[in-house]
Each structure stands twice: as C-alpha cells, then as structure tokens.
Amino acid sequence: MTRHFFRLLVAFTLFAQLPALAGETGHCQESFQKLTQLIGRNFFETRRDFEKYAELFPQSFLSRVSSLKEDGHWVDAGSGEGFALQDLFNQTVIDPEKVLKEAASSFWRARKIVIDPEPLRESAQQLNFREAADKPKITGVTYKMERPDPKIPNLAFKVGRFFEDIPLGEFAPADLITDLYGVISYSPRLDEVLRRYHALLKNSGRAYIFIGDYLSVPQHIGTRRIERIGEEGWYSPFVNSTVTRTDGSTVSLLDWIKSLPDFNAKVEKVVIQQSKKGNLVPGEIERSTLVLEKRTEQSNIPLLKLLESDDGKPPIRKFEEVP
C-alpha cells in the first residue's frame, strides 16, 4: 500500500514537472503535453504476445532472442502488459508448426507471411524446454501496466516512470532492445531515448525498432477499369514524422535516425504476399524494422526539440535540431 502510494507520488511529481521541462528545452509545450497525456491514457495495443513479436519483427529477432544465454539481457522499451516477455519463461515459448500454419495463406486468409522454416525451427528448439537457470535477464519498461507484476525471477518491470527519466544505472547493459510501437514511437524526447539506447547497448547488441509497412506492390482490382488498392510507398509514422536539420533541410524521422553516425543502421523486413482473391491481383507488403548496432563508444546525437505532434497511435511528430 505504502509502496503503491509512493509510486503514485513519484509519477505525479514527474508528470507535474513535465511542462517546465518542455519550456526549458524549447519544445512546443502543447505538443509535449499531448504526447505525455497520450502515454498516460494508455489507450493503445498493449497485450501483444511473444508470437506476435516474432511475427512482426524480422526473423533475425527470433534468432537473437534464442541465442541469449543466462548472462544475456533483453530490454523491451514500451512493454505494455509484458505478455511477450513473460512468454519467454513458458516451457514452450514458440510452436514453429503453428507459426508456419498461421503464416500460410488459406481460404480465409488471402495473405502469406514469408518465413524461412529452418531458422524458425532452430530458434524454437533453443527456446523451448530450457532450464529456468539458463534463461536471460529480461526488463520491461512501461509507463503503465494494468495487471500485477507476474513476479518471475529474471523478469523485471519498470513501471510508472518515463524511460527518459529512469537513471541508466538501474539497467544492466543490453544485448537486445526492442521497441514495438513503444517508447520511441511516442516520446516527445526522442533524442534522449536514442542516447539511452546507445548507452545501454553492448557493443555486440542490437536495437529493433518497429517502423511499419512499405507497400512495395499495390494490389489492384483486375477488371477493365483498374482500381489500385493503396499507393506504393510507406505506411509508417516514422516516415511521415520529420526532422529539420540545422542546415534547414528536412528529412523523415526514419532517414534522420539512419543517418546518425552513432549507429550502423539497416532496415530488415518481413515480406507479406497478398494472394490473388476474386478479381484482386496479388500485392506485396514489406513489414519493416530498423535495426541499430552501436558504432561509436560515445554518442553524439543532436539535441531535438519537438515542434508539433498529432494524437495518432502512434503520433506523427515534427522535430527540429537544436544548434
């Protein structure tokens, strides 16, 4: 009871200080508050399980998780209810045959998720029926969690604080950071989040930031009057959000992060083939994740100020580099 009250007090104090913080750093106060309130309301998808993470992130994510030994550490930045993390402590973490069945197209599902079955089966073999003592350490960070902490040794949740405010000393160095429409998608202090990912990552570690979809082949209705279903290109808040550099040029948030010298960055994809159905002609989606590997010892990420944000889930934001 006292602990709960103390947590509420800390959260309230931090929340009360945010407008001052926004003012000090030149952020647009209204947009800053909009984002912190959006996070505080917690009206978004927070219950994805491990199979969903494995479906949305590229296959290298699963290989990485499965290769983590007892000295490994996975941080999920924006862990919601933490089901994906808790699943790692199940006897069967992932059922490869079920995953393959669900990825295949059927009469009901006119789409196919392209998965290489061999690495999937290998990862499942490494993850399933593993001794508890061999499991890696896992940390979930979430501003809100509606259910009680499942209290599993090796699984810790940091609840009730903004990631940007948690002293870095509270974290062990990370082999893997995941952000599935989590902290980086909502933060008004995005530069600080990236600095922290850089500081937390071990040299061999990787951060997986889910970006959204690239529609590489739009479907169209194959009748005489061709009607396209969607336009080729990105469907992603990271691509619609922008950063204006000190030289006056404006780039997408995705390109800005990719261009930071602090990381080696690449976009990895899951291909989704939209099969022919009725008179719908096949199409293709590339579900994309930005994978960051630390390149420099020190980070030199420019300061950003938030200029604008909408209240989308996730929001589209405009930032500007501070000279």
Ligand X SMILES: C[S@@+](CC[C@H](N)C(=O)[O-])C[C@H]1O[C@@H](n2cnc3c(N)ncnc32)[C@H](O)[C@@H]1O
Residues that bind ligand X (CB under 6 A): 39, 44-48, 78-80, 141-144, 162-164, 180-183, 186-187
Shortest distance in whole angstroms from residue 166 CB to ligand X: 8
Answer yes or no: are the C-beta atoms of 219 and 274 closer than 8 Å. yes
Which helix H or strand E contains 268, and what residues bound it? Answer: strand 263-274
Shortest distance in whole angstroms from residue 100 CB to ligand X: 22
Question: What b/e readout covers 236-264, taking b as 16+ CB neighbours within 10 angstroms?
Answer: bbbbbbbbbeeeeeeebbbebbbebebbe
Shortest distance in whole angstroms from residue 42 CB to ligand X: 6
Cis, peptide link before residue 314, omega less than 30° from 0: yes
Shortest distance in whole angstroms from residue 206 CB to ligand X: 17
**Nearest to ligand X of 142, 299 (CB atom):** 142
Which helix H or strand E contains 211, and what residues bound it? Answer: strand 201-217
Answer yes or no: are the C-beta atoms of 141 and 164 closer than 8 Å. no
**Nearest to ligand X of 130, 144 (CB atom):** 144
Alpha carbon of 185 to those of 45, 178, 189, 252: distances in Å?
13, 12, 10, 14
Structure tokens at 28: 């647009």
**Nearest to ligand X of 80, 237 (CB atom):** 80
Alpha carbons 187 and 277: distance in angstroms, whole number: 40
**Nearest to ligand X of 144, 258 (CB atom):** 144
Shortest distance in whole angstroms from residue 41 CB to ligand X: 10
Shortest distance in whole angstroms from residue 221 CB to ligand X: 33
**Nearest to ligand X of 181, 214 (CB atom):** 181
Give residues with Cβ within 8 angstroms of 47, minimum separation 6: 80, 81, 83
**Nearest to ligand X of 169, 278 (CB atom):** 169
